[in-house]
Amino acid sequence: MGTAKRVSRASSRRQGVSALTLLCAMAILTAPGLAVGSAYAAPGAPSAPTAPVDPAPPAAAAPGAKSLEQVHKEIEDLYRQAGSATDAYNLAESETKAQSERIVEIAKLVVAGQDRIAGLKDRAGAAARAQYRSGGLPPGAALALSDSPSAFLDGAGRLRQGEKATTDLLSELNRTQTDLERYAKDAGAIWQKMEENRVKKEAAKKEIEDKIKAAEALENRLAAEEKARLLQLEQEAQYRAQTAWLSTGAMKDVKGSATDAGKRAVQFATAQMGKPYVWGAVGPDSFDCSGLTSKAWLAAGRGIPRTSQEQLRLLPKVAVKDMRPGDLIIYFDDASHVGMYVGDGAMVHAPRPGRNVTMAGVGSMPIKAVVRPDA
């Protein structure tokens, strides 16, 4: 009995130390003065995530019913499709914003062109009135009637200059009118694109809502124990993927240190942990995946594209071995998800609806590319 008590006390102490270690690690990760790249794990090779505890065997499903594993896959597929549609929505929104700004620029050009035409018409009218006052006599008649031939010749020279100026003025007037016609045509094309983007946004929004509702309906039909098991299935899948990724030696040469801006971006992103994923959200109370990364880098003083696909397209790519804290990791072939590398094989991200901003292994999902906002 005494031996059993000592074993029990030792086990309790070990659990207490483990819990304290975890709490300290989380406190370090979210501390304002985080020293990125040095406090995520013990020195040496990056640590793999702790293996999940083996769950109790699930109850047998009724004949014809879907297994929890099947439900898990179906929910994950729905959320992945919602993620793709979310990025399509965000992309259409950003394009619409750019097109709206271009419409404003064109409107300013049109106003300036109209003012220019009004000024040119005034000058043309003044030239016509001056010519009328001169009598409009033919050059030969004017020479015959002139008291001073030299004065006449001087006047004729000025007249030729005036005629050239009038010709130039009319040419400029025609060019300005042509510009206005082009502006109108450009504006019409942009309005058409804006309408197409509006249709795309509405279609993407409906797809997002339908996929999320379908996934939530599946999840809401589960009992509390099944929901807990579902979360565990997600964690197990992430653990297996991360372990397999680490076993390839992918982190062996990753030793990059964060820049000052990278540290600020990581500090912002990790400070959002626990806040819910909401599609299209950019804070402060909720985020989607690219909303989190774009806001984090904005807080670090660097504006980057809003969507994960645009982040992939426009930001410089770096090799995984050159990765440093603050870099963005783009996931899946369609670039529909993004997380931020924080060091030691971990990244912070907003996973999906129904989940909160959290940390996960860099290799817990298929990596498409790594991009650097502060190249």
pLDDT at position 85 is: 81
Distance from C-alpha of 166 to C-alpha of 318, rounded to nearest angstrom: 60
**Whose CA is closest to 288, among 349, 370, 332, 369?**
349
pLDDT at position 328 is: 98
Q: Which residue has the higher pLDDT, 328 or 34?
A: 328
Residues in contact with 303: Cβ distance below 8 Å, sequence separation at least 6, in sequence order: 297
Per DSSP, the three-state class of 116 is helix
Residues in contact with 72: Cβ distance below 8 Å, sequence separation at least 6, in sequence order: 230, 233, 234
pLDDT at position 241 is: 96
Kindly tell me if the per-residue pLDDT of 178 is higher than 90.
no
Residue 284: asked if its preceding bond is cis (omega within 30°), the reply is yes
Kindly tell me if the per-residue pLDDT of 296 is higher than 90.
yes
**Are the beta carbons of 311 and 371 closer than 8 angstroms?**
yes
Q: What values do phi and psi take at 158, rounded to 5? A: -65, -35
Q: In what order do the strands lie in the sheet with 328-331?
A: 317-318, 367-371, 328-331, 337-343, 346-349, 358-361
CA-CA-CA-CA torsion sign (53, 244, 14, 37) = negative
pLDDT at position 154 is: 55
pLDDT at position 147 is: 55
Q: Which of 16-20, 111-115, 164-168, 364-368 has the highest mean pLDDT?
A: 364-368
Distance from C-alpha of 361 to C-alpha of 344, rounded to nearest angstrom: 9
Per DSSP, the three-state class of 299 is helix
Distance from C-alpha of 284 to C-alpha of 264, rounded to nearest angstrom: 16
pLDDT at position 182 is: 82
Residue 64's region, left for phi above 0, alpha for psi from -120 to 50, else beta, is left
| Cα separations in angstroms, 172 against 76, 106, 131, 183, 336 | 63, 19, 20, 16, 51
Pairing of strands 337-343, 367-371: unpaired
Residue carrying structure tokens 């993004």: 338
Paired tokens of 351: 């996973």
Paired tokens of 326: 């603050």
Q: What is the mean pLDDT of residues 261-267?
A: 98
Crossing angle between the packed helical segments 224-247 and 68-133, to the nearest 10 degrees: 80
Q: Is 145 exposed, middle or buried, given 0-12, 13-18 or 19+ CB atoms closer than 10 A?
A: exposed
- Rounded to 5°, the CA angle 308-309-311 comes to 60
Q: What values do phi and psi take at 277, rounded to 5? A: -75, 130
**Are the beta carbons of 340 and 326 closer than 8 angstroms?**
yes
Catalogue the active-site residues: 289, 337, 349
Summarised one tens digit per residue, pLDDT across range 54-72 is 444 444 444 456 788 888 8
Summarised one tens digit per residue, pLDDT across range 5-54 is 443 444 444 443 343 333 333 333 333 333 333 333 333 333 444 444 44
Q: Which residue has the higher pLDDT, 323 or 19?
A: 323
Residue 324's region, left for phi above 0, alpha for psi from -120 to 50, else beta, is beta
pLDDT at position 218 is: 87
Across 251-271, b (16+ Cβ under 10 Å) vs e yields beebebebbebbbbbbbbbbb
Kindly tell me if the per-residue pLDDT of 289 is higher than 70.
yes
